[in-house]
Amino acid sequence: MYKRQFNDLYKLTTNIIDRPEGYVDACRGKVLGSLFYEPSTRTNLSFSTAMMRLGGSVVGFSDPRSSSTTKGETLKDTINMVSCYADMIVMRNPREGAAKAASLYSSVPVINAGDGSHSHPTQTLTDLLTLKCEKGRLDHLTIGLCGDLINGRTVHSLLKAMSCFEGNRFILISTPELGLPSYVKDILNASNCEYEEISSLEEALPQLDVLYMTRIQRERFTSAQEYENLEGSYQLTAENANPKNLITGTRYLNVTGMLPFENMVADYVKETNHHVLYRVTPIFQGNDLVARGVQMEAYSVEDKGDGVQFNVFVYNNQPGITIDYKTGKSKRA
């Protein structure tokens, strides 16, 4: 059933990509209620941009402090009210199971944009699309999942989806403290999926068709010390570059280069509840295996760029490291 549903979605998605002009009025007259109880840049902007490009409109909040939640309004009351205004609801919430609860209260469809550390099904749809486009199939793949597997809701959703396709093998790469929850292992076992748990990223890389990296999630830890002990446990940089990777980004690229611009967009959206067109494009030279950097573009919609507008190139380098972009090899300078 999952495979048939995905194939139908894949056909629709590729048709939209190939013929976007045919869908500019697909949601005309429809309203999306966007309820983000947790910070979000990519998911929030993705839904808002998609709805606008399909001809619809968006209402809601990206900060619960600007809603009646601060007055004690329950999730049930919020959903009941918003479903009177909107034709569909997309919600992110820090509590596991919140999306399921919302769907029971709502009179309109509810899309789960992430519920705590449980699941993130819409991210999985984009991951499946990427795998299908880049690998040509969703079966008989060896997939490495690395980092915070205990809290990584995208990992949980992706494993559940990929377990529906035959012949897939999973390499789970994490420290013992960050290992995959038992209930997700139960899903793999029930599907007779082969999986292996290891702690070494370098050991796993030669075996993989796909590597799925996750960050260590500060917001899921109750102890700052515990987070600091695990932060940086796994980093995919030019120091462990693998020729099979489509793009390898250094920590310097991510933290020093990209993060200030990502925060600029996030802060603007949080403060104004307005929309930003946002795009990041990796830039390769010739047949290089590693991108020389990324082009970052942003434009705030409602104020025509007065709030946020930039078009910058961020270099993919790392102080103290020499990178051969053609081969993916690197060495300490």
pLDDT of residue 75 exceeding 50: yes
Question: Which of the four pLDDT bands, split at 50, 70 and 90, describes residue 3?
Answer: confident
- % of the chain residues with pLDDT over 90: 67
203: Cβ contacts below 8 Å, ≥ 6 apart: none
Q: Average pLDDT for residues 145-152, to the nearest whole number? A: 89
Q: Which of 210, 220, 192, 205 is nearest to 142 (CA)?
A: 210
Token pair in block for residue 303: 């104020």
pLDDT of residue 287 exceeding 70: yes
pLDDT of residue 244 exceeding 60: no
Q: Average pLDDT for residues 14-34, to the nearest whole number? A: 95
Within 10 angstroms of residue 215's Cβ, the number of other Cβ atoms is: 13
pLDDT of residue 219 exceeding 70: no
CA angle, corner 201, sides to 158 and 235, nearest 5?
85
Q: What is the pLDDT of residue 251?
A: 85
Q: Which of 83, 217, 52 is nearest to 150 (CA)?
A: 217
User: pTM higher than 0.85 for the full model?
Assistant: no
Q: Which of 233, 243, 234, 235 is nearest to 206 (CA)?
A: 243
**Which of 204-208, 240-244, 305-309 is least confident?**
240-244
Question: Which of the four pLDDT bands, split at 50, 70 and 90, describes residue 148?
Answer: confident
- % of the chain residues with pLDDT over 70: 90
Q: Could you list the active site residues?
A: 42-43, 71, 92, 120
Q: What is the pLDDT of residue 228?
A: 62
Q: What is the pLDDT of residue 265?
A: 94
Tens-digit pLDDT profile for residues 165-210: 999 999 999 888 888 999 999 999 999 999 999 988 878 888 999 9
> How long, in residues, is the chain?
333
pLDDT of residue 92 exceeding 80: yes
Q: Average pLDDT for residues 132-151, to the nearest whole number? A: 92
**Which of 85-94, 95-104, 181-190, 222-231 is least confident?**
222-231
Q: Average pLDDT for residues 262-285, to the nearest whole number? A: 92
CA 291/CA 74 separation, integer angstroms: 47
Q: Average pLDDT for residues 72-97, to the nearest whole number? A: 95
Q: What is the pLDDT of residue 189?
A: 95
Q: What is the pLDDT of residue 245?
A: 44
pLDDT of residue 232 exceeding 50: yes
Q: Average pLDDT for residues 201-223, to the nearest whole number? A: 78
56: Cβ contacts below 8 Å, ≥ 6 apart: 27, 28, 29, 30, 31, 32
Average pLDDT, the chain: 89
pLDDT of residue 107 exceeding 60: yes
Within 10 angstroms of residue 300's Cβ, the number of other Cβ atoms is: 20
pLDDT of residue 57 exceeding 70: yes
List of domains in the chain: 2-115 (3.40.50.1370), 121-234 (3.40.50.1370), 251-332 (3.40.570.10)
Question: Long-range contacts: 304-308, Cβ < 8 Å, 24+?
Answer: 307/268, 307/272, 307/274, 307/276, 308/264, 308/265, 308/268, 308/276
CA 53/CA 100 separation, integer angstroms: 27
CA 60/CA 90 separation, integer angstroms: 10
Q: What is the pLDDT of residue 1?
A: 56
